[in-house]
Chain A
């Protein structure tokens, strides 16, 4: 009897110890794709947040080119769902801290990568830029804006535009507005005219879409050079010019409709003729235009139309998805092979028409880009460039978090002075 109890005790104890050990080991192993044996093809783990319609198709098209050109590698798609990569970035953070980075990961080109660079997670890509002569095919201003002390750390695959004013032509006509407003003053006047007709003048989504709106208003009010100067060391966010821009922002926000759940319902209000204007990045084009599975199936120029956001004509407020080369990844050669495809004309022309963006390269095949994208491509080659705030070009992640918080508080308080002070403090703490 006694003996049986002992045996049982030992068995249960051992079982629990084993379970614990299994949990500990499993976590590490499960997260990593196995690299395979001697004769198996080597895997390249590509980490992104492209899982939605359009973007996932674009990734697949690039993957086909990669596998064709590199028969010795297999592509491992480590995509994590979730718009703008919130969840992906959190997972990436833990992978980097555990020193088990993916072979290459997606990140917005520009200051968003600063944290990773500072932590020594990324290898600089100057060698690749020299080898492929990328400085000649990307716009000089683009390379300049993503360089950190002369070094480039990522390969931009696509370009999106942030400063796009989307509008509903029939709602504008009904309110007696001849065309898209060219200046912020005209814009405010037009918002008033729409309000008088009882429609929503400007639709907005959740809080990040308001930060998105703010960057277009800042650019429109300050002008390109003064806007770009805001992100240089010692920039002055407490100037009267910024005060004026923020006052305009407050006026514009007073015409905003009820906040929607996200940017899509806000854009839909314009497409449905409930609202007149919406300021959103050009990913909205795909949503307006694509057939009902994933889009609204609207006709461009008739159901919806676009223009540069007020006061920003001639400037491309850009953002870009890019790929990096993490230090200490298992398959560096495979990652470099992937970056070469991502940087190539062929790769970018396969990816971008599907994703609904334009290539970062200047030598794209223009016939592939129609309707909105043709306009975008034309502007991209001639416009001045300014980097987006909300989408990680001009400010690093802590700075963006501080700006997001300031804007969130402003939505509740409507206090311009407090907003400006918070923005100035954020710049002081984070500009470098």
Chain B
């Protein structure tokens, strides 16, 4: 009885969220995986169990290859871009410039905007009209003598352009993460390095950067899972066109246009699995770290 008093209140407190998450997250995930393993290719059929057939056959569809390639290109450009830009901004701030608070707020503001709003603005900025028809960035580039570009309509590198609004939106957040990381490096360590004859660059190279590894990893995970699930930004910029297709948009088309629930569920499963590739190692790593400390 005494022992129950110690653990029962805690359990009661978290019970509602355990139930909610159990039903609405894990229950739905399981339901989705089960649906993906049936042949329910329209809303009315019963759906017999077909194992992993859908997971294999989707690789025969040219559109799936395109959307996977797009997702990879978007992820690489977005994650690297946001990490580098965020790190650079934090590096500048860390030098203790005047009005740091103001700058920090300015860089963080884009995060308060939804991807849809960002997308609508950038759709105009990245308009592919050239020369006398140019608007947005192409107009600006024309005025200052830079080459114009088709942006997200470029057949090969369009998805790299699509990553620009995402970088614009998320690099401030990465900056905040890194800035906290920089501030977490004890001054004594830096001084010790300087006493040992390290130059300012050497201090960063050998002391600060290694200590930033956990922050970098967190940023990588957060950006990576946003990037693999990206949907709203793409739809706001270009709608459901093949030229900017990604798995999440393909899933939407499969469910609501093709009326093929099994195909939609298969794509959804692949999205979850690809995010899991990022998240699970991170969870394992952080649990181990907590045990150690």
Query: Which of A's residues lie within 8 Å of B, judged by CB?
Result: 2, 5-6, 9-10, 12-13, 16-17, 20, 86, 89-90, 93, 97, 115, 118-120, 206-207, 258-259, 261, 274, 397-398, 400-402, 404-405, 408-409, 411-412, 418
Contact = CB atoms under 8 A, between A and B. Distances in A.
Contacts of B46: none
Contacts of B42: 115, 118, 398
B152 to A, nearest CB: 11
Given A9-B9, A17-B16, A259-B153, A274 B253 contact: no
Most A-side CB within 10 Å, residue of B19, B20, B42, B256: B256
A258 B13 CA distance: 59
A119 B241 contact: no
B15 interface: yes
A198 B17 CA distance: 65
Most A-side CB within 10 Å, residue of B13, B155, B253, B260: B13
Contacts of B242: 207, 405, 408-409, 411-412
Contacts of A115: 42-43, 259
Contacts of A13: 12-13, 15-16
- Secondary structure call for the B interface: helix
Given A9-B9, A274-B133, A398-B258, 4 more contacts: A12-B13, A400-B257, A408-B245, A412-B66
Interface string B231-246: 0000000110111010
B75 interface: no
Nearest to A18: B16
Given A401-B258, A404-B257, A16 B16 contact: yes
B267 to A, nearest CB: 14
A181 to B, nearest CB: 25
B241 A408 contact: yes
Interface of B: 5, 9, 12-13, 15-17, 19-20, 42-44, 62-63, 66, 123, 127-130, 133, 150, 153, 155, 238-239, 241-243, 245, 253, 256-260
Contacts of B44: 118-120
Contacts of B123: 261
Contacts of A404: 257
A401 B13 contact: no
9 contacts: A9-B12, A12-B13, A13-B12, A120-B44, A207-B243, A274-B133, A397-B257, A397-B259, A411-B242
Nearest to A87: B256
A16 to B, nearest CB: 4
A274 B13 CA distance: 66
B210 to A, nearest CB: 43
A90 B254 CA distance: 12
A16 B260 contact: no
B46 to A, nearest CB: 13
B130 A258 contact: yes
Contacts of A261: 123, 127
A12 B9 CA distance: 10
Contacts of B20: 20
B153 A401 contact: no
A409 B12 contact: no
A258 B150 contact: yes
Contacts of A5: 9
B258 A402 contact: yes
A93 B42 CA distance: 12
Given A258-B128, A274-B133, A412-B242, A398 B12 contact: no
B43 A119 contact: yes
A177 to B, nearest CB: 22
Most A-side CB within 10 Å, residue of B5, B9, B155, B260: B9
The 6 A-B pairs at the shortest CB distance, nearest first, are namely A408-B242, A401-B257, A16-B16, A401-B258, A9-B9, A207-B241
Contacts of A418: 62
Contact of B153 (A16, A90, A258): A258
B63 A409 contact: yes
Nearest to A120: B44
Contacts of A274: 133
A398 B260 contact: yes
B259 A398 contact: yes
B45 to A, nearest CB: 10
Contact of B43 (A97, A258, A411): A97
